């Protein structure tokens, strides 16, 4: 039997707060606004999950991912997904060396700490599925040999919701591997003016690189502390009930809403709730999870796991509308 983890003490919480505060400050110094994206990236990093980001181009997603990676002194690789991208372009392959008359293994760009898969839905289903082992097992297999991926490991995949020409929708199995899905909207007028002001001042040209403020060992230490954040059994049941409503909507939701759902969320959704709620508590300086933590994560945990039918698509009803109904159907403990 595994021994129960000790609760966090004040010194551990203070150290965790110091680390996440430094990374958050480094992010804000290079990226204007995007507070929700920053929070979701940090949650994914601390909870050991992956992030799916939906937004139109030009909203600083690449910059945000690079800043997070550089601020923790971790590796970063950006992969532009295209229809001709091969699994070996991501995972790696064996290359013949004539000088030694032998094959050597060349590891692919996925072997780093933070990977940005730009427009993942432009890659073929074969290439998309090649990421499954890496995302879930934290390793790749090349010529029968397993190669571990360094920790921490965070995959950030982007999708453009506007341009669907030449795209390959992610399968349910692939989207379920992403712990959270964030939807990034256009910046406010104030934030956009600040971006232009920084460009006019030459701030972006003078500072392409972000100096490390912590290192990957610090992040691994905070990841261990996240698992010690207390989450009451009632809150675990609350998360499970939210997921259960999506599986049996006819029992809990109004008929007009229930018929929109074809398939609900898998047990990975409940696991994601528990892991991300603990990470969110750390970000907010608490040693325990509150009901509001679970509720505030509901859209990010569920929106990509709900499969809606034709009626929802024809009426342009988004998963977020359904998640709102799910939250109203479950009593908060």
Q: What value does the mean pLDDT take over residues 115-144?
A: 88
pLDDT surpasses 80 at 213: yes
Q: What value does the mean pLDDT take over residues 172-193?
A: 90
- Choose among 76, 55, 58: nearest CA to 67: 76
Quick one: pLDDT at residue 25? Answer: 92
| % of the chain residues with pLDDT over 70 | 95
pLDDT surpasses 60 at 207: no
Residue 95's DSSP bridge partners are 104
pLDDT surpasses 70 at 164: no
* Of 23-37, 98-112, 293-307, highest mean pLDDT: 293-307
Quick one: pLDDT at residue 200? Answer: 79
pLDDT surpasses 80 at 8: no
pLDDT surpasses 50 at 139: yes
| CA 333 to each of CA 187, 236, 249, 327: distance values in angstroms, whole numbers, following the listed order | 35, 10, 20, 12
| % of the chain residues with pLDDT over 90 | 63
Model confidence at 124, in pLDDT bands (50, 70, 90)?
Answer: confident
Quick one: pLDDT at residue 3? Answer: 47
CA distance 23 to 18: 9
Q: Where are the alpha helices (DSSP H) in the chain?
A: 10-30, 35-47, 61-71, 87-91, 125-137, 172-176, 189-200, 203-206, 216-226, 233-247, 249-252, 255-258, 267-283, 291-302, 310-314, 319-329
For 54-83, letters b (16+ CB in 10 Å) and e give: bbeeebbbbbbbbbbbbbbbbbbbbbebee
Model confidence at 2, in pLDDT bands (50, 70, 90)?
Answer: very low
Quick one: pLDDT at residue 281? Answer: 96
Quick one: pLDDT at residue 163? Answer: 66
Q: What value does the mean pLDDT take over residues 210-238?
A: 94
Q: Domain map of the chain by residue range?
A: 230-333
pLDDT surpasses 90 at 75: yes
Superfamily (CATH H level) for 230-333: Magnesium chelatase subunit I, C-Terminal domain (1.10.8.80)
pLDDT surpasses 80 at 208: no
Model confidence at 166, in pLDDT bands (50, 70, 90)?
Answer: low
Q: Which helix (H) or strand (E) holds 117?
A: strand 114-118
């Amino acid at each position: 039997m595994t021994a129960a983890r000790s609760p966090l003490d004040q010194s551990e919480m203070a150290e965790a707060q110091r680390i996440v505060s430094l990374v958050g400050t480094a992010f804000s110094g290079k990226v204007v606004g995007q507070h929700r994206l920053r929070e979701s990236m940090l949650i994914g990093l601390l909870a050991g999950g992956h992030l799916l980001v939906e937004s139109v181009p030009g909203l600083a997603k690449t910059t945000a991912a690079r800043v997070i990676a550089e601020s923790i002194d971790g590796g970063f690789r950006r992969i532009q997904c295209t229809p001709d991208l091969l699994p070996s372009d991501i995972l790696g392959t064996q290359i013949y060396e004539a000088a030694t008359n032998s094959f050597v293994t060349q590891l692919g760009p996925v072997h780093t700490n933070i990977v940005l898969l730009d427009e993942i839905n432009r890659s073929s289903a074969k290439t998309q599925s090649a990421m499954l082992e890496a995302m879930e097992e934290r390793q790749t297999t090349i010529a029968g040999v397993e190669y571990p991926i360094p920790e921490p490991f965070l995959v950030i995949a982007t999708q453009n919701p506007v341009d669907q020409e030449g795209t390959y929708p992610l399968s349910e199995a692939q989207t379920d591997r992403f712990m959270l899905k964030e939807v990034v909207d256009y910046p406010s007028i104030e934030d956009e003016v600040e971006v232009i002001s920084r460009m006019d001042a030459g701030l972006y040209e003078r500072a392409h690189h972000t100096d490390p403020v912590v290192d990957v060992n610090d992040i691994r230490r905070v990841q261990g502390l996240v698992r010690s954040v207390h989450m009451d059994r009632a809150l675990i049941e609350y998360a499970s009930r939210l997921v259960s409503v999506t599986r049996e909507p006819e029992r809990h939701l109004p008929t007009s809403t229930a018929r929109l759902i074809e398939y609900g969320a898998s047990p990975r959704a409940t696991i994601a709730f528990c892991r991300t709620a603990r990470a969110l508590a750390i970000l907010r300086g608490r040693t325990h999870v509150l009901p509001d933590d679970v509720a505030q994560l509901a859209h990010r945990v569920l929106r990509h796991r709900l499969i809606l039918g034709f009626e929802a698509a024809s009426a342009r009803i988004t998963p977020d509308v359904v998640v709102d109904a799910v939250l109203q159907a479950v009593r908060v403990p």
